[in-house]
């Protein structure tokens, strides 16, 4: 092998838990309607774009200096946003921010997981929980869900008692199913986690603003090992910004500061996020439009004979199909890209603009008219199968 020839994966001395794994990635195909990555379809309005430009221009004048290492101004504004929208007062010291909620989760696992420690999640759910666990050397345990995708509380309690994990992940609303988690479920699992270890419990609310239900944020009161994780990628229409954050006891914030890289949030990122936070009312107005469109998709897909999981997110899981990938490809032939998450019998569609949703529904009608593509009404014993493959937060 020449010095310039890339070594095959199996020849690299990588960690054993990474050997044979595939890098994560959602297919991005050049089609008229892309509804596969749960992005907010509305570009930022011009007044917000102009304000971002002003903020970034100000930051650019001091790029020769390192940014605020602790992002105090940004965390203060995020705390104000959470206090106003979630009905529970949060202080700057209870908030931490990083490059997307994926980095937030990574920092939590670096601080509370790691070699010799384990994390548990309830699948199918957000696959990055397991992937980040693997990347940090944390063991992964797959916990149970019911056939309707609700968390199996008694089974989950038993799994926590048996495995005594160091970190417990609860995703609400859940990706890819869209289902929200009851506050009582979170409290039951938090209690089980404290009896077993005690353990850190992370509630992933990446899609929280789209839910019919209030945020679970108030549950952190008096629970020092409960964390709420969020992102600006979805509700704020800022997937390209890469800004995630958490709310928790100040001691948890102090713990993640032990593992964060120095100056991890650039001055440009902080300036852009601050500009967006100045316009939360405008951006949450788009969220209301998307919630309405999401509910329309649920209604119309059911009218077409599809089985649809109740959704509290900006996407809808629909099925069940005898061959979900065949249906996915048939929709693609109609110019519409949705997501095949690997959950047997199901597909997932992001709520888009009214025009995009109309195109999707027209494509579904066309596909369902073909022989062999009608939804399969039979119960699928594997409906709680493989974890989703979605990472863009």
- Alpha-carbon distance of 355 to 74, in angstroms, equals 35
Locate all alpha helices (DSSP H) within 61-112, ordered by sequence. Answer: 72-86, 100-112
Beta carbons of 265 and 188 less than 8 angstroms apart: no
Give Cβ neighbours of residue 329 (< 8 Å, ≥ 6 apart): none
Classify 140 as helix, strand or coil.
strand
pLDDT at 374: 66
Residue 385, pLDDT > 60, answer no
Retrieve residue 248's tokens.
Answer: 């928790």
pLDDT at 380: 40
Q: How far is CA 9 from each of CA 5, 128, 258, 306, rounded to the nearest angstrom?
A: 12, 21, 32, 42
- Alpha-carbon distance of 59 to 359, in angstroms, equals 42
- Alpha-carbon distance of 108 to 115, in angstroms, equals 14
pLDDT at 393: 58
Beta carbons of 51 and 280 less than 8 angstroms apart: no
User: What's the pLDDT tens digit per position in 296-325?
Assistant: 999 999 999 999 999 999 999 999 999 999
> For the sheet containing 307-308, what is the strand order?
307-308, 315-319, 346-350
Beta carbons of 119 and 166 less than 8 angstroms apart: yes
DSSP code at position 116 = T
pLDDT at 7: 62
CATH of the domain at 242: 3.40.640.10
Q: What is the chain's mean pLDDT, rounded?
A: 92
In a domain, 351, yes or no: no
User: What's the pLDDT tens digit per position in 274-285?
Assistant: 999 999 999 999
Longest Cα separation, the chain: 64
Residue 114, pLDDT > 80, answer yes
In a domain, 187, yes or no: yes
Domain extent, residue 172, equals 65-279
In a domain, 295, yes or no: no
Retrieve residue 277's tokens.
Answer: 């936070």
- Alpha-carbon distance of 340 to 36, in angstroms, equals 8
In a domain, 146, yes or no: yes
Residue 328, pLDDT > 70, answer yes
Instruction: Please name the residue that has the structure tokens 């595939």.
Output: 22
Beta carbons of 347 and 328 less than 8 angstroms apart: yes
Retrieve residue 362's tokens.
Answer: 């027209």
Q: How far is CA 351 from each of CA 253, 317, 354, 357, 377, rounded to the nearest angstrom?
A: 34, 11, 9, 7, 24
- Alpha-carbon distance of 26 to 12, in angstroms, equals 25
pLDDT confidence bin for 387, thresholds 50/70/90: very low
In a domain, 154, yes or no: yes
In a domain, 109, yes or no: yes
E strand segments, the chain: 33-34, 95-98, 118-122, 139-143, 167-171, 200-204, 226-231, 244-247, 307-308, 315-319, 336-337, 346-350
The pTM of the full predicted model, rounded to 2 decimals, is 0.92
Domain count, the chain: 1
In a domain, 3, yes or no: no
In a domain, 35, yes or no: no
């Amino acid at each position: 092998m020449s010095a310039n020839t890339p070594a095959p994966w199996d020849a690299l001395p990588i960690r054993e838990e990474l050997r044979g794994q595939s890098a994560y990635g959602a297919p991005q195909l050049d089609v008229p309607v892309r509804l596969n990555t749960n992005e907010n379809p509305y570009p930022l309005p011009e007044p917000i774009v102009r304000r971002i430009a002003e903020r970034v221009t100000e930051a650019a004048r001091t790029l020769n200096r390192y940014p605020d290492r602790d992002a105090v101004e940004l965390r203060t504004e995020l705390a104000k946003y959470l206090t106003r929208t979630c009905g529970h007062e949060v202080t700057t010291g209870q908030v931490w921010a990083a490059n997307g909620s994926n980095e937030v989760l990574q920092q939590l696992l670096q601080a509370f997981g790691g070699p010799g420690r384990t994390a548990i999640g309830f699948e199918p759910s957000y696959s990055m929980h397991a992937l980040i666990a693997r990347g940090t050397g944390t063991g992964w345990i797959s916990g149970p869900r019911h056939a309707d995708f609700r968390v199996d509380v008694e089974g989950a309690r038993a799994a926590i008692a048996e495995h005594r994990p160091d970190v417990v992940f609860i995703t609400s609303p859940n990706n890819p199913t869209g289902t929200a988690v009851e506050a009582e479920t979170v409290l039951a699992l938090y209690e089980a986690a404290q009896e077993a270890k005690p353990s850190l419990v992370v509630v992933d609310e990446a899609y929280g603003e789209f839910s019919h239900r209030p945020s679970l944020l108030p549950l952190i009161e008096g629970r020092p090992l409960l964390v709420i994780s969020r992102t600006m990628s979805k509700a704020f229409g800022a997937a390209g910004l890469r800004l995630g954050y958490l709310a928790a006891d100040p001691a948890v914030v102090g713990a993640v500061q032990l593992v964060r890289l120095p100056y991890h949030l650039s001055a440009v990122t902080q300036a852009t996020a601050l500009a967006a936070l100045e316009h939360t009312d405008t951006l949450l107005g788009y969220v209301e439009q998307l919630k309405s469109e999401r509910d329309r998709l649920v209604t119309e897909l059911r009218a077409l004979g599809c089985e649809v999981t109740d959704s509290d997110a900006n996407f809808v899981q629909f099925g069940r199909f005898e061959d979900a990938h065949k249906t996915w490809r048939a929709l693609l032939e109609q110019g519409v890209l949705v997501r095949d998450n690997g959950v047997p019998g199901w597909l997932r569609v992001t709520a888009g603009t009214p025009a995009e949703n109309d195109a999707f529904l027209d494509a579904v009608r066309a596909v369902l008219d073909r022989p062999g593509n009608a939804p399969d009404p039979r119960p699928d014993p594997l409906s709680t199968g493989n974890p989703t493959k979605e990472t863009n937060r």
